[in-house]
Amino acid sequence: MANNFSTLAVHGGEERRKPYGALTTPVIQSSTYTFKDTAEILDFMRRKDAGQLPVRDEYGRYSNPTQTTAEQKLAALEGGERSLLFATGMNAITTTLLTLLSNGDHLVMVEGAYRRTEEFARVYLPRWGVDTTFVPIDDPDALHSAIQPNTRAIMSETPTNPYLRVMDLSRMVEIAREQDILTIIDSTFATPINLRPLEHGLDLVIHSATKYLGGHNDLLAGAVIGRGDLLSEIEDARGVLGGMSNPNDAYLLIRGIKTLELRVQRQNENGQRIAEFLQDHPAVSRVHYPGLANHPDHQVAQRQMTGFGGVVSFEIDGDMEETGRFIDRLQLPYVGPTLGGVESVVEQMAALFSLDPEERRVAGIKDNLVRYALGIENTDDIIADLDQALSDTG
């Protein structure tokens, strides 16, 4: 099998000869799987106890053939030993942290994570006796100082949402290895096309597969990819906690991944051109995009990423009300909270974050902040639409 992304996206993880001679991996819609006789059950249990993989399916809460194919494809794309599929990206995050952290452990989390991830660390982990220290993304000294004798893991996102800050993965790994600490990265915004964190020495990569990996806004799924020993622990917890994906979403994910490289390349192109257009527009006060030279993490992004992604955040000249009117003047994108699909989606971050101005201020969400998640539409059409909407600002 070739190692080029486009070939891996189409063929990686899939059997050459599929059931019934089908070209596509079929949806195996079954909650349970039967055995021929008792001897087959005993052989299955012996192989399972010995940790021999792959072990055949027994019950839908543990595994499903369609889901297994999706997991194998994701592992191939990220270069991981194994992958596990979950019902959602948050389910992948929470199950991973609950598995790897115990009462008395300490987690270091880099600031700028998805707000629900931060909420889980601030509100829920303390209930299980796990403390979290938050550190800036661009301060390796603070990261180093935050480590305690009981620190078990460092977790970050890259790029972050919505300001698209980029974590220096090599520095993160260097600090973690000094203390034998696990490293976890949420790489949803980057995708394995733009960044392969495991090649930088990270232990685990997490994705909200709902976004770019699925690519069509028609499924919910999450994934964890990385070291086999860690994935075995997390797999056991998934069977207990029940965060299994379903075969229909797994099928849609397999289908979506086949065009991942094509879609992400177009979204990278759209992102760069739209960021450059907005940077020069008089109605825009600031643009946040790692492909721009004035982005604080541009050099880090250049060093470790092959593309800068399809999300552009920017601040317009105006207050919350004027920002909302600008959003409403746009004719091409849908208005909503998601990203990564073939359709462009725009969001006024403040409006969906909180109606409380103080909560927005504490979280660093400005009233005039817009997040534009670019799809695969024609770039000139997107620019023309933005231009007409911005021209009426004021």
What pLDDT, in 10s, does the model give residues 145-168?
A: 999 999 999 999 999 999 999 999
Q: Is the peptide bond before 247 cis (omega within 30 degrees of 0)?
A: no
Q: How far is CA 336 from CA 109, 312, 327, 339, in A?
A: 27, 15, 11, 9
Question: In the prediction, which pLDDT does 355 show?
Answer: 78
- Could you tell me the two tokens for 52? 């021999």
CA distance 236 to 303: 37
State the average pLDDT over residues 281-303.
98
State the average pLDDT over residues 296-310.
98
Question: In the prediction, which pLDDT does 332 show?
Answer: 98
Question: In the prediction, which pLDDT does 50 show?
Answer: 86
- Sorted by where each begins, the domain ranges of the chain are 5-28+64-257, 261-391
Residues 216 and 342 sit within 8 Å (Cβ to Cβ)? yes
CA distance 38 to 54: 20
Residues 278 and 210 sit within 8 Å (Cβ to Cβ)? no
CATH T-level topology, domain 5-28+64-257: Aspartate Aminotransferase; domain 2 (3.40.640)
The CATH number corresponding to 261-391 among 3.90.1150.10, 3.40.50.150, 3.30.365.10, 3.60.15.10 equals 3.90.1150.10
Distance from the first to the final alpha carbon of the chain: 56
- 9 has a pLDDT exceeding 70: yes
Residues 209 and 223 sit within 8 Å (Cβ to Cβ)? yes
Instruction: Place 2 in a pLDDT band, splitting at 50, 70 and 90.
Output: low
Residue 222: closest CA among 256, 193, 245 = 245
- 384 has a pLDDT exceeding 60: yes
Q: What mean pLDDT is reported for the chain?
A: 95
- Write the Ramachandran bin of 113: left for phi over 0, alpha for psi from -120 to 50, otherwise beta: beta
- 394 has a pLDDT exceeding 70: no
pTM of structure? 0.94
Question: In the prediction, which pLDDT does 328 show?
Answer: 96
Q: Which tens digit of pLDDT belongs to each residue from 81-91?
A: 999 999 999 99
Q: Which tens digit of pLDDT belongs to each residue from 317-357?
A: 999 999 999 999 999 999 999 999 999 999 998 887 877 88
Residues 277 and 143 sit within 8 Å (Cβ to Cβ)? no
3-class DSSP assignment, residue 290: coil
